[in-house]
Structures are given as structure tokens and as C-alpha cells.
Amino acid sequence: MFNRPDLSDEELARVLPHTMGTQHPDNVGKVPFGPSPRVNRELEEEEVLHNVTVLGLPEQMIDYEKKRGGCTPLWDWLHRCPSCLEGRVIGRDFHVTPRIPNPDADRDDPYFWQSLGIFSNSLLVMRRMGLPWLAFSEFIIPDASSGATVAKVERDILERFRLEAAQYRTYGDGSAFPFDGDFFVQGIPLIETVEDLLAPERIWDDLIRTRKELTGRDTFVQRSFIARSDPALKAGLVAALVAATVALHRGRAYERRTGVRIPQIMGIGSAPFRGGLTPEPASMEAVLESYPGAATLTVQSAFRYDHPVPAVTGAIRDLGARLAEGWLARHQTPPGPNPEEMEQLKSVVARLKAAYEASYRELLPLVSQVADAVPSHRERYENVALTGDMRRVGGLPAVRAIKYAASCYTLGLPPGVLGFRAWTDLSGEERSLVERTCPTLFHWLRQELRYRSPESARNLLRQERLPLLTRDLEAAQAVTLGCEPDPAHAAAAARAAAALGDRPRLAAAILEAASLRRFLG
């Protein structure tokens, strides 16, 4: 648990996990612990052990949202490999942080109710291991637009522990539940819209106030999670970059105003559209420059499985050291936008988002043809009617971010350019403000344009009549003069575009292009 008043910044930087493995399935290559790129429910146990023991990750997220989570995950890992968790001890040497469904949206999801029990259930396993602390001391609530919801889940987990402890005494010899420590599991809000990221203080205030009311707990340290992938899916690359950068600035200002420290997690994948993090030094440098003061970065499946293990383990160590240094120096970074500039940025983001939504609407029929052939590398619920569909773009159903990005890259139409025509409509002052807020904006745009295919784009834009996307590409190329596409990927994209309507050929072309990129989407 990091919510302690006695931890100095230096001590907190030392104990915080600065990299987090997640189950986002953006890998294209075979996983090291299975026969294929796909990770089913059973292989997820092997994945946790691989990430902890081989890659040396200090934190692993396990996911109960739209997935079959285990009732007793720690027990399952110990049965799978009794010796694996002896060298690195859970809750001390590494952390596991469950992502559980948001009860405001998924109240009827049985995996939400199941997930509430894993925190107290794990204490019985910890007793067997001879460890007197919590195995899981935090959890993540996705799409957290309400801080009160996070606090209510904290209360429910606490009440379940108290009930189970009371019930325990009614069996056997009537002895007390074998944990007499301070039981509290702290929630982490995952903020997933550009609007909330531009003003996250409301969520933090709501969470801290409601936590105090419901549990009596004071807050000294509150981890918070910035999404980069879904904001890009819902509002476009530039809007997502601006929102994520502003959220980091607002976190630092919140710390100075309230005294509550806000170590922020950046949720990013390997595709430039989704964050652009790979184990390559140039990529890591660009990400660190883009998000100064971030405490933790996610390393998703492509980062971990589409590169050699020595490169991955070295990158995890380097990122950990660099992020600890950067978080300690977070208040030395330039100040964020002032109130007047914030109003300008909100207006700019709204216009960029509107332009992106129109381009998305234009491109969606073409993307849908490809997305059905993009392989699913993670086991999820199949029946959306049972679970709801929170992902929508401009009122239209949204393809999941990884499949969406994979579809666009496969066609040689990089998703990061959608809506960029709105850039030319901004005033010089507005463009200057965005560039000051996001100094690496054009770097990420150039990374996107590496995956365009002039031949594919020319044919598709003409055949499918995509006037908005035509203007988007022209606007993006105008500000990135000299950025040449990768010729091998451009050729693969052209073959994919020519294979539309022929599913076997299209599926092969999707994997060919993804292998060249070293990420699926």
C-alpha cells in the first residue's frame, strides 16, 4: 500500500512500480509460454509467472473486465508453479493489480461481484505462504468518470472482508480469521475520455471526499491511470496527446494545492496511435519526453513478446530507473497551461474531436471489412449483448482500439491522421499552444505516416470516395515534409487493400504487415 504519510518522495519513488504489464493483446508474434500468439484464460496464469519471473516486471495488471477472471488467482499461480513466487514475493518484490468492471456500467456482470472476493480470499493463501500482508492492495476501475464509484467499491471490498472474517469464526475451532492487520484495498481511477483528462480534479476530489465519508480513510497518495488508447479511438491522436499531457500537468498542480501526491500511470501500447512504446531506445526516449513526470508506463503484449527477451528485460530496467528519476523531478518541468489557455485547449480538442468523428464515420465501413479478419489474441466475452458496449465514436459503434488500429495500418491509412484537416482551421495562436503543450506532436505524426501506403491510399480514397480522409492525409503530409513511408510495409498494405473481399488473402496480409511493424494494432 502506497497511501502512507510517512513515505518521502524518495522512498515513494523507490517502492512504486514504474512499469506495469497488462493483458492488452497487441502482439503479433507467438508468446514465449504458449503455442501461438493467442493467450486464452488458462495461459494467463503462465503469463503472470513469465512476466514476474522471466521479465522481472514490478507490476502486473490482471483483467476481469469482459473476461473470465479467476476466483483465486494467487492460489492458481501457486498450484501452477509452487517455487515461482518464492524468489520474488508478491506484495513486496512485485505487485498484482486487478482491473475489475465498473459497476455503474456492468452492475449485472457476475465477474464484478466475483472480483470483489479475491482480496480477502487471497489472505488465506498468504497465510499458507507465511506472509502477513495483502497480496492485492489496489484495484483499477475502468472508465472512471465518478470518483465516488471507486470509493464505493473500496467500501464494498472492506465490508466483504468483515463479513468473511465473522463467518470464518463459525467453523472449526472458532478461532479468528488469520489476518489481524489493517485491511484496506485502494482504488485507482482509469480515466478514459479526453473531457475527463482535461479536468481530472473533479474525479480525484470526489474519490478522496467519498472515501473519507464511507471508510474514514485519509488520502496521502492516490495513483491515477491515464488512458491513451481509448481517447485516441474516441477523439483522435492529437486530442488524446493533448489530454494526456494536460492530465499530467493537472496532477502536479493538484499535488501543490492539496498535498496529496498523484503518481500517474500512462496506459500506452506499441502502435504510435496508442502511445508508441517499444523496447527500442529511440521509442523509449520519445515516450519519456512526451510524458514527463509520469510515474508508471504500461508495457503491453507487443512490447513484451514481439522483441527478444534480453532487449525487453533491459528496457524494463531502464524505464524503471528513468521513470523514478522523472517522477522525482516532476515539479521541475515547465508549468502547464494557465486558465485562459485551458479554455482555448478545450475548444481546440472539441474541434479536433468533431473532425475526427466525421472522418471515422466515413472510414468505418472500410475498417469493418478488415476488422473481422484481424485475429483476436486474447479470450474475451463473445456476446456483447450480455456485457454492454461502452465504446462509441460519434454515436457509432466502435471497433476495439487494437483491431481498429490494425485495420487502418493494414490498409496503409494510419489512424493518427483522421481529423487532422482541422489543424489547418486552427489559428496560429492555437497551433502554437498545442505545440507548446505537446512538443513531440509532430514526432508521433511522422511515426504514423511511416505506415501509410501511397498506392493503397490512392486507390482506396478514389474507389471508396473518402473526401475527408483525403484532406486529412494532405494536411498531415504538409506538416511532416520529407517523411517517407516504410516501403516494405507500404507494399504489404497495398496487397491487403487488393485482398478486400477475399478473407484468407486478407488475413495473411494483415499478419504480414503486422509482423513488419512488430505490433498488431
- Contact present, 266 and 296 (Cβ < 8 Å): yes
* pLDDT at position 384: 43
Judge contact between 203 and 226, C-beta under 8 A.
no
On the question of pLDDT at 396 being above 80, the answer is no
CA distance 187 to 116: 12
Q: Find the mean pLDDT for residues 192-219.
A: 98
Reply yes or no on whether the pLDDT at 389 is more than 60: no
Q: Give the pLDDT of residue 186.
A: 98
Render pLDDT for 403-452 as a digit per residue (tens, 0 to 9): 999 999 999 999 999 999 999 999 999 999 999 999 999 999 999 999 99
Q: Answer yes or no: are the C-beta atoms of 126 and 134 closer than 8 Å.
A: yes
* Number of other residues whose CB lies within 10 A of the CB of residue 35: 8
> What number of other Cβ atoms are within 10 A of residue 166's Cβ?
11
> Which numeric CATH code is attached to 9-327?
3.20.20.60
373-395 mean pLDDT: 66
- Percent of the chain at pLDDT exceeding 70: 98
For the chain, the average pLDDT equals: 93
Confidence band, pLDDT 50/70/90 cuts, at residue 31: very high
DSSP codes joined into one string, 412-428: T--GGGTTGGGGGGS-H
Q: Let me know if 92 is exposed, middle or buried by CB neighbors in 10 A (0-12, 13-18, 19+).
A: exposed
Question: 20 CB contacts (<8 Å, ≥6 apart)?
Answer: 57, 58, 59, 60, 61, 97, 265, 296, 297, 298, 299
pLDDT at 174 over 50: yes
Alpha-carbon gap, residue 502 to 39, rounded angstroms: 27
Length of the chain as a residue count:
521
Q: pLDDT confidence of 391, banded at 50, 70, 90? A: low
Please report the pLDDT score of residue 385 as a whole number: 36
Closest among 202, 246, 341, 228 to 287, alpha carbons compared: 228
Q: Which part of the chain has CATH 3.20.20.60?
A: 9-327
Contact between residue 106 and residue 141 where contact means Cβ atoms under 8 Å apart: no
